[in-house]
Amino acid sequence: MAGSAIGLGNIWRFPYMVGEHGGAAFIIVYILATLFLSLPIFLSESILGRRTHLGPFGALAKISPGTKWKYMGLLTIISALIILSFYSVVGGWSVDYFVKSLTLSFSRGGADSVPAVFGSFISKPVAPLVCHTIFLLLTALIVGFGVKKGIELFSKVTLPLLFILIVVILVYSLSLPGSSAGIAYLVKPDFSKITVETVAYAMGQSFFSLSLGVGTILTYSSHISKSENLMASGIGTAASDMGFAMLAGFAVMPAVFAAGIAPGAGPGLIFETLPYIFAKMGEASPVISAVVAILFFLTILVSALTSSISMLETGVSYLEEEKGMRRWSAVGLLFLLTWTLGALCSLSFGPLADVQIFGCTIFELCDKLTANFLMTLGGFLFTIFAGWKLSKDDLRDELSSGGLHRPVAFRLTVFLIRYIAPIVIITIFITNLFL
């Protein structure tokens, strides 16, 4: 579950969201949103998954038999696959930039020419599609080997590696001249920067990063044994996710300020500004620059895979449980579907750039539709089912693992699940409509 949470949301999305929405002030709102909103939703999904040992569709059908609610569970599975479609495009960018770092491409042509490389690359029709395909194939192969031999083994090996890599990059970033301005940006809050928009985006970032509302946590939880402490798993996953996001912020922002680049550079921050920084470093120390660049983009690639496999697993579990498909057949079918939508998302930066739906490119539409609406709808659904379809005795039974553990802050947890989380989710949903 930590592997599902730790991904591009931490390394790619978190730094540029912090840069665009006020630095330390955004971080404070993000932490509060994770503790009092996202964690209760995370626990709701965990409770539903382990209680039923089924995915979103089967879980809602079992808890509310004879109703149409199960189709809302199916909608969350579709949401995960839509996210995977455009997520694998960004994952493909990380494949390309990892190859570029291995071939020392950032040291050629001078540092000033590096930022333009990103725009040139994503606007091409073929190369991004090839990288998108490679990334999605890697995802499919891992999921194809199953939960134990594929997903769990990959996550157990790569997560410690991720933390080591990001710490190495962080140490180097903090050593750069001028990095202190980046540190100050992250630790000195300017509360005048906090607006309704800041709060909405901070909550959305917390949702996106913890993979909430799309059934991935529910699906993973369906494999958890009855003896496992759900509260400890939830707190541990949320803490790991926030910790990694903070490490990523301190690895990226000091380097950005050291290079004199605006922190609000947007989604292209790590693909445009970081290679520029690596190229500048290469002018003084080519070897160190090459090593740091390789480590950085390897970190992005591995973290992207730990999240993408959870999204694909949600759909695969549904086809196995409800349609009786064999795992590899389910993986193959969903690979073709997500590859096709992902290809359209990739081409929306090039040949399909002029294709607009509600004023958005295909990539932007998939991103906004899932992050602003489908994920919040799914989160609302799971909290309502956990909080109101299950009794307090059922909730206590799950949070205590059948009496094996003393449920920490049980009353507060139930209050957050039943009342606070649904109200806040509705507020976010309405706010996103106006934003």
Question: Which is more confidently placed, 57 or 290?
Answer: 57
Q: What does the block give as tokens for 13?
A: 């999305």
With both helix axes pointing from N to C terminus, report the angle between 196-209 and 375-384 in degrees, rounded to the nearest 10. Answer: 70
DSSP, collapsed to helix, strand or coil, labels residue 326 as coil
pLDDT digits (tens, 9 = 90+) for 63-98: 999 999 999 999 999 999 999 999 999 999 999 999
Q: How confident is the model at residue 109, as a pLDDT?
A: 65
Tokens describing residue 87: 């997520």
Most confident of 188-192, 217-221, 306-310: 217-221
**What is the mean predicted confidence (pLDDT) over 277-288?**
76
50 half-sphere exposure, CB direction, 13 A CA radius: 24
Q: What is the pLDDT of residue 157?
A: 78
Tokens of 59: 């879980």
Average pLDDT over residues 105-133: 85
Torsion of CA 245, 301, 307, 186, to 10 degrees: 10
Residue 391 has pLDDT above 90, yes or no: yes
**Interaxial angle between packed helices 115-122 and 69-102, expressed in degrees from 0 to 180 and rounded to the nearest 10:** 130
Read off the pLDDT of residues 144-169 as tens digits, 9 standing for 90 and up.
988 777 777 887 877 788 788 888 88
Q: Tell me what percent of the residues of the chain surpass a pLDDT of 70.
A: 98
- What is the Cα Rg of the chain in Å? 21
Predicted pLDDT of residue 84? 96
Alpha-carbon span 308 to 310, nearest angstrom: 5
Q: Can you tell me the distance from the alpha carbon of 309 to that of 114, in angstroms, rounded to the nearest whole number? A: 31
Q: Quick check: 318 pLDDT over 90? A: yes
- pLDDT of 92 reads 96
Average pLDDT over residues 123-132: 96
93 burial (CB, 10 Å; 0-12 / 13-18 / 19+) is buried
Q: What is the pLDDT of residue 343?
A: 98
The alpha-helical segments, DSSP class H, found in 68-152 are 69-102, 115-122, 127-144
pLDDT tier for residue 172 given thresholds of 50, 70 and 90: confident
- What is the pLDDT at residue 412? 94
pLDDT at res. 395: 95
Token pair in block for residue 48: 């539903």
Tell me how crowded residue 425 is: count the other CB atoms within 10 A of its CB. 26
Q: Put residue 53 in one of left, alpha, beta given phi > 0 → left and psi -120 to 50 → alpha.
A: left
* Cα–Cα dist 242/30, whole Å: 9
> What integer is the mean pLDDT of 192-208?
83
Tell me the C-alpha distance between 27 and 249, whole Å. Answer: 10
Task: Report the percentage of the chain scoring pLDDT > 90.
Answer: 50
Residue 373 has pLDDT above 90, yes or no: no
Binning pLDDT at 50, 70 and 90, where does residue 398 land? very high
The pLDDT of residue 327: 94
Give the mean pLDDT of 268-291.
77
Query: Is residue 46 predicted with pLDDT exceeding 90?
Result: yes
**pLDDT given at position 427:** 85
pLDDT (0 to 100) of residue 162: 79
**136: DSSP letter:** H
Question: Contact 302/162 with Cβ under 8 angstroms?
Answer: yes
The answer, yes or no, to whether residue 364 has pLDDT greater than 80, is yes
Structure confidence at residue 113 (pLDDT): 74
Distance, in Å, from the CA atom of 251 to the CA atom of 269, rounded to the nearest integer, reads 13
Return d(Cα 253, Cα 186) in angstroms, integer: 8
More confident residue, 396 or 1: 396
- Would you say 300 and 14 are in contact if contact means Cβ atoms under 8 Å apart? no
pLDDT at 111 over 70: no
If one counts every other C-beta atom within 10 angstroms of the C-beta of residue 184, the result is 14
Domain limits of the chain?
A: 2-434
- Return the number of other C-beta atoms located less than 10 Å from residue 71's C-beta: 11
As a whole number, the mean pLDDT across the chain is 88
Q: Domain spanning 2-434: which CATH class is it, in words?
A: mainly alpha
Q: What is the mean pLDDT of residues 217-227?
A: 92
Task: List the alpha helices (DSSP H) in 325-399.
Answer: 327-347, 362-368, 375-384, 392-399
